[in-house]
Each structure stands twice: as C-alpha cells, then as structure tokens.
Amino acid sequence: MAELRALVGVKRVIDYAVKIRVKPDKTGVVTDGVKHSMNPFCEIAVEEAVRLKEKKLVKEVIAVSCGPKQCQETLRTALAMGADRGIHVEVPESEAERLGPLQVSRVLTALAQKEKAGLVLLGKQAIDDDCNQTGQMTAAMLDWPQGTFASKLTLEGDKVTVEREIDGGLETIRLKLPAVVTADLRLNEPRYATLPNIMGTN
C-alpha cells in the first residue's frame, strides 16, 4: 500500500537505567538534570514503522512528540532511526506535568486526521507512568479498530493482522485500515541509528 502514512507517537521519559529519586516535597520524581531518552516501547513502534517503510508497505513515517522543547531530542532520535518527518507539539514546561493520556490522545486524533494517516503506531505504555491508555483512547476518539500489545504485525492490502499478547496467551485479530496498533516488547528489536543517519538529522 504505497499510499499509507504511518503516524508514530514517541514519548520522552526518564531513561530506564537511571535510578529514580523522589522529590523532597514528595510531589513527584526528580526530573531536572536527569538523563531522558525515548520510551523503549515507542522505539519499538518507530522500528516497526521504519521496517514497514523499507518493505514499501508504508509511504511516509511521521513521528510525533508532545511536551516541552527537549522533546526535539527524542524526535531527532526517531528521525535518525528512519522516520521521515517529526512533529513537535509544544507544551510549556509548567503545564507538561499535567499532560496525560487523555490530552495526548486528543492531539494524536487531530493529527491523524490532519495528516491523513492510515496507521497509528504507539508503544503499549510509557515506562514513567505505565498508563497503557493512550493507544486505546486514540482509537476510540478516531473510531478506528485497535490492536494492542502487538507482538507481530502484518500488513496485507487494506487489512492488518495483529498477533496480540494477552493474559491467556496469544490472540490473532485482523483489523481493517485505518487502525491503531500499540507495540509490545517482542514486536521487534529496535536498531541504533548509524552515525551517518545521526549527522543527517541536523
């Protein structure tokens, strides 16, 4: 389907290897000066989108990130991995704390309609809040079918077959495009950007 556009959501979170510390006033977690990186599940989603593009099943991969201006680093990483465009929805630092799945899914809904995306790929959850809501909410708002916890994704014509990891084991469903898919751990092994790609995202 050379016409298909994939919208991939990426979130900037505290790096998984960092030791989390609670703020002294107990209102949250220390984020200042702490190493941040792309949510691992979002990396898997980007990797899947880029692989689909390499198989020529997707025409364009658009990466989206909502948050303060540091999100641009995350977008650059997505671009270095192979995404074609990056959209940064800027949210001022002061309001970034109140940004949750509901708000983000509204943004993604609007963007999916504006960019005429046929496939929205997200990570199943973010490692900082573990909400596991954005994908499902976005699908509901768009009124599109959803395939969550995907461990295998196959695009065939205007349908997508998703193998889901559920509590009881594996479930295979077939969705009609446009659809929302959220990536689980075993979907793929994300690539690291090669040096030339990193330089190219200048």
Partner 1 sequence: MPRLLARSRRQKSTGRETEMELAAAQLLRFGRGALQLRRNFLTCLSSWKTPPRFLKSSQSEALYNVSDNGVTFAPLQTFTEEEMMIKNMVKKFAEKQVAPFVAAMDENSQMDKSIIEGLFQQGLMGIATETKYGGTGASFFSSILAIEELAKVDASVSIMCDIQNTLINKLIGRFGTEEQKATYLTKLTKDTIGSFCLSEAQAGSDAFALKTKAEKKGDYYIINGSKMWISNAEYAGVFLVMANADLNMGYRGITCFLIDRDTEGFQIGKKENKLGLRASSTNTLMFDNVKVPETNILGRLGSGYKYAIEMLNEGRIGIAAQMLGLAQGCFDYTIPYLKERIQFGERIFSFQGIQHQVAQAATQLEAARLLTYNAARLSQTGKSFIKEASMAKYFASEVAGLTTSKCIEWMGGVGYTKDFPVEKYFRDAKIGVIYEGSSNIQLNTIAKLLGQEY
Buried b (16+ CB within 10 A) or exposed e, 20-42: eeeeeeeeeeeeeeeebbbbbbb
Stretch that binds partner 1, among 52-60, 76-84, 101-109, 174-182 (CB under 8 A): 76-84
The answer to the question of residue 27 lying near partner 1 (CB under 8 A) is no
Stretch that binds partner 1, among 74-82, 84-92, 113-121, 146-154 (CB under 8 A): 74-82
The answer to the question of residue 193 lying near partner 1 (CB under 8 A) is yes
The answer to the question of residue 76 lying near partner 1 (CB under 8 A) is yes
With beta carbons less than 8 A apart as the criterion, state whether 152 and 187 touch. yes
The one among 80, 119, 175, 179 contacting partner 1 by CB under 8 A:
80
The answer to the question of residue 33 lying near partner 1 (CB under 8 A) is no
The answer to the question of residue 196 lying near partner 1 (CB under 8 A) is yes
The answer to the question of residue 84 lying near partner 1 (CB under 8 A) is no
Stretch that binds partner 1, among 71-79, 85-93, 107-115, 122-130 (CB under 8 A): 71-79
Give the number of other CB atoms < 10 A from CB of residue 137. 21
- Rounded Cα–Cα distance for residues 154 and 5 (Å): 15
With beta carbons less than 8 A apart as the criterion, state whether 81 and 193 touch. yes
- Rounded Cα–Cα distance for residues 183 and 199 (Å): 28
Stretch that binds partner 1, among 93-101, 119-127, 155-163, 190-198 (CB under 8 A): 190-198
The answer to the question of residue 36 lying near partner 1 (CB under 8 A) is no
The answer to the question of residue 12 lying near partner 1 (CB under 8 A) is no
Q: Which is nearer to partner 1, 73 or 128 (CB)?
A: 73
Matching residue, tokens 């075993």 = 186
The answer to the question of residue 192 lying near partner 1 (CB under 8 A) is yes
Question: For 36, what's the count of Cα atoms within 13 Å in the CB-facing half-sphere?
Answer: 21
With beta carbons less than 8 A apart as the criterion, state whether 11 and 45 touch. no
According to DSSP, the residues that pair with 89 across neighbouring strands are: 66
**Site for partner 1, rule CB under 8 A:** 37, 73, 76-77, 80, 192-196, 198-199, 201-202
